[in-house]
Structure 1
């Protein structure tokens, strides 16, 4: 069925492909997974593209077509298939998944500035974890303050930075292969055989699957544009196939290009944090340009990450407050100033970001903080992606109720099965991703990261489950809590966080005490939130 839009306002499939490509993959995504799996990631990318990315993208297309009147947002898909509460909770989890991403982006800004000004990673040796966290928080606060004045400029810079990042990535891949030919086929990864790219599908491999999913998700952002195509039934699959081809080129050849400059059998420990800068420095040296490429990439990264950070801080808070309405979101979080900005929403964002940063500050090194935050995204982001497959299963279970211009797999039972399989794989990757990465298994740091992974997920997701109860208290009593109750809850939470941090240095036997104590604290908070009536002033 053709759309009824006026000719000239349709979005062509090549344009939609480019829009989706920007949201799906970037140079850092390739670097992160190269560090996790080495050259075997090439096979992983091939499997992901055909078994995950293509069906995932086509499912998003149908969901966007079904709910085109609601803007095609993820929470609207769940709201339309499962009701208001799950719609709210989806919006919350989508927002919660953005919190580690924002902190990670602020970390990347600090690292980018360091390379842009010093031309090396030596500044990291002189910066303590506390200083790294402090600078991250300062940058975070600066962008909270200035985002209102520079929001439009930052969106423009995001486009510029994103375009430059895309060009730099393509440039690296192309020049790396030219350099390989120029160098007689000599590469850092030796020996290079078929076995070099075949993964060992053990438990360690499956724990890194979440980072692969984190790298390729995000195409749900282009869902609202499906119905703006002239013939979505024909053109949308073309766009997604083209997306897969472009992503395949960048991930497969990009990973191989990294193997030219890095020995995949012995990768640097700080590759996730500094690998991109090492790569462009090596590229420049090979072509006799010194650090030119490295500096260009460093400033490109700074521009892009600064713009992304400012836009995210504003957009994620506004989205949460506006999308959940007054039924489940407490009134004090929906409070706005004279300019219509959700001030308390920004404060909540700051508090949760500070909480995440505080948990990481006690890790051994700055590199550990960066890697942990990145891997935390590999837990929460795939978890949110599960909502997409769940919504798809719901619309294919009741196809008469959810008509669509574009349909992925005409057979409803087969489509439902495909949705279920992707949901199961994504859920498994989320659960296994809780196991710490980049550290020695069962070491002191491994146990500490495991604890703060669980704590982070429970706090970020659990808070969303508590907010509707707080809203009900506002409606029932006129105010959610009196001053003494606020002090009690803040004290319990602060004690829990301090205890979590202290636990990082304890013996394994005390972890049973930790579990019991955390359950008691959680029950105490539930009593205050659900049962204890506030005093009226």
Structure 2
């Protein structure tokens, strides 16, 4: 049956769809804080050596596996088998945990600015209250999305475009304003040396957040086959995406240099910088806090909608995309409304665990920065799967025919995929080193430990679930009530012990937390070794 003309997606529309998912004002702000005006050079390098080839590789993978929805896990499943497909789905889901926690915290920050017009609300909030409010927001939005899921999807789409519009507005008004009398660059001197970053170890630790800022093109991969002439139109869309992203990141960073001295940036720039920027823009144009309030409410609406959609979509995706072979039955259990209730509990539990790790940091700003930087570790790590799948495809291209092909020569294409895989893996590893704190201070060592713990738990749990599923197949159930009770009690005791250690010295806290975690893991392992009592369900 011939598809009608109006059902095709044009390349400008696809480019715009990808653009909204890839870059935002906060991404520009975060990396400006990390690298100052030197980030301009980093953005140029990223666009031509990373974003364009990355997006075009995604296009070929989406074209090959279009019948499976074009998702990342289906690409790995189709090239490397069922287990790695499952594990990719898990890691993609696990990478969403820090993101949704970060989104929930951004909601709190947004409301603070929307109601008070300053950073006073979050500046005075204790860490424990901040964590508690964040967790309450999780619970509220799990309830809200159940009734308003479709509305939230519409709101997140509208909010996404509104956020993009506010970013463009900021860049245009800043650059136009600079030509007016009375305006000047806060960053001085402004010359070629200012925009060249210092390529040292600290720089390497910030690359992960750059990659985190520009990834997301895989979300539009399934639309490749809905284009009329994908071989011609998809590269146009991706090159347009790269050009728009390059324009916005370069001029966005330059615009920030108008209002902030890149040599002396506020410590809370990652958390409050976008609000400071719009506040400064409004004051320069003589409209007070108008721009800031518009941006604050735009951010609140967008982040609320995004949070609700994410909490629902990520849980459903995990349960639906991994199948019966590796996912325990108790996680697939649904209530009368068809919701994976135990999946939601797992999401909340892991989100609470991540928040608990950060609650002992000195200030709320440290929590926000740490969580953001955690995204800069886990998200690039998951992106490695994309390049791995692409390399597998190009190693045996005859087995994977595609309507669109990135670089006809398989050897060159494979080497390009390997290059991006190595770069992304290196950025992930270097990103584990803490940022935004004094090197080798107590806080630095604590953040290093909780970075490793967070990665170990989020990724390691994905390796344990197939073993739990195996127990279900062998015994009929994974654990009996006594085992569940013992594991829950052990976990709670470990958590209480860690909370009790919250006020101790960092070095003592790190040592004791490691010991408690090791003992808890040992006890959980010993509990799990025992066969469940209800073995009579095995053959039922």
TM-score bracket, shorter-length normalisation: over 0.9
RMSD across aligned C-alpha pairs, in angstroms?
1.8
Correspondent of 1:247 among 228, 245, 248: 245
Quick check: 1:418 aligned with 2:416? yes
Q: CA-to-partner distance for each residue in 1:193-217, whole Å, 9 max, x for gaps?
A: 2111111110000000000000000
- Structure 1 position 513, deviation (Å): 7.4
Alignment match, 2:538: none
Q: How far apart, in 2, do the equivalents of 1:307 and 1:295 lie?
A: 18
Correspondent of 2:534 among 514, 533, 536: 536
Contact kept in structure 1, 2:70 and 2:221, CA below 8 Å: yes
Quick check: 1:212 aligned with 2:190? no
Alignment match, 1:436: 434
Alignment match, 2:524: 525
SS at match of 1:213: helix
Q: CA-to-partner distance for each residue in 1:375-401, whole Å, 9 max, x for gaps?
A: 111111001000000000000001011
Q: How far apart, in 2, do the equivalents of 1:138 and 1:516 lie?
A: 30
Greater CA deviation, 154-163 or 297-306?
154-163
- Structure 1 position 136, deviation (Å): 1.1
Correspondent of 1:342 among 340, 343, 346: 340
Contact kept in structure 2, 1:448 and 1:504, CA below 8 Å: no
- Structure 1 position 361, deviation (Å): 1.1
State the number of aligned residues.
534
Alignment match, 2:465: 467
Greater CA deviation, 153-162 or 502-511?
502-511
Q: How far apart, in 1, do the equivalents of 2:526 and 2:59 lie?
A: 44
Q: How far apart, in 1, do the equivalents of 2:33 and 2:124 lie?
A: 24
Q: How far apart, in 1, do the equivalents of 2:147 and 2:502 lie?
A: 43
Correspondent of 1:13 among 8, 11, 14: 11
Inter-CA distance 4–86: structure 2 relative to 1 (3 Å threshold): farther
Q: How far apart, in 2, do the equivalents of 1:504 and 1:183 lie?
A: 53
Contact kept in structure 1, 2:449 and 2:510, CA below 8 Å: no
Inter-CA distance 533–457: structure 2 relative to 1 (3 Å threshold): same
Contact kept in structure 2, 1:210 and 1:430, CA below 8 Å: yes
Contact kept in structure 1, 2:478 and 2:532, CA below 8 Å: yes
Q: CA-to-partner distance for each residue in 1:229-275, whole Å, 9 max, x for gaps?
A: 11111111111110011001100000000000000000000000000
Output aligned runs, 1:156-195, within 5 Å.
156-183=154-181, 186-195=184-193
- Structure 1 position 494, deviation (Å): 3.8
Alignment match, 1:279: 277
Greater CA deviation, 345-354 or 299-308?
345-354
Q: CA-to-partner distance for each residue in 1:431-470, whole Å, 9 max, x for gaps?
A: 1111111111111111111111111111111111100110
Output aligned runs, 1:100-249, within 5 Å.
100-183=98-181, 186-249=184-247
Alignment match, 1:483: 481
Inter-CA distance 259–22: structure 2 relative to 1 (3 Å threshold): same
Contact kept in structure 1, 2:105 and 2:134, CA below 8 Å: yes
Q: CA-to-partner distance for each residue in 1:309-361, whole Å, 9 max, x for gaps?
A: 00000000000001111111111110001111101111111111111111111
Q: CA-to-partner distance for each residue in 1:253-309, whole Å, 9 max, x for gaps?
A: 000000000000000000000000000010001111000000000000000000000
Alignment match, 1:328: 326
SS at match of 1:182: coil
- Structure 1 position 93, deviation (Å): 0.5
Greater CA deviation, 494-503 or 316-325?
494-503
- Structure 1 position 525, deviation (Å): 3.2
Alignment match, 2:351: 353
TM-score by length of 2: 0.96
Output aligned runs, 1:374-453, within 5 Å.
374-453=372-451
Q: How far apart, in 1, do the equivalents of 2:504 and 2:215 lie?
A: 36
- Structure 1 position 184, deviation (Å): 5.8
Output aligned runs, 1:291-302, within 5 Å.
291-302=289-300
- Structure 1 position 131, deviation (Å): 1.3
- Structure 1 position 488, deviation (Å): 2.9
Contact kept in structure 1, 2:106 and 2:303, CA below 8 Å: yes
Alignment match, 1:81: 79
- Structure 1 position 183, deviation (Å): 3.4
Correspondent of 1:70 among 68, 71, 75: 68
TM-score by length of 1: 0.96
Output aligned runs, 1:31-50, within 5 Å.
31-50=29-48
Contact kept in structure 2, 1:448 and 1:503, CA below 8 Å: no
Contact kept in structure 2, 1:53 and 1:216, CA below 8 Å: yes
Q: Unpaired segments of 5 or more residues in structure 2? A: 536-540
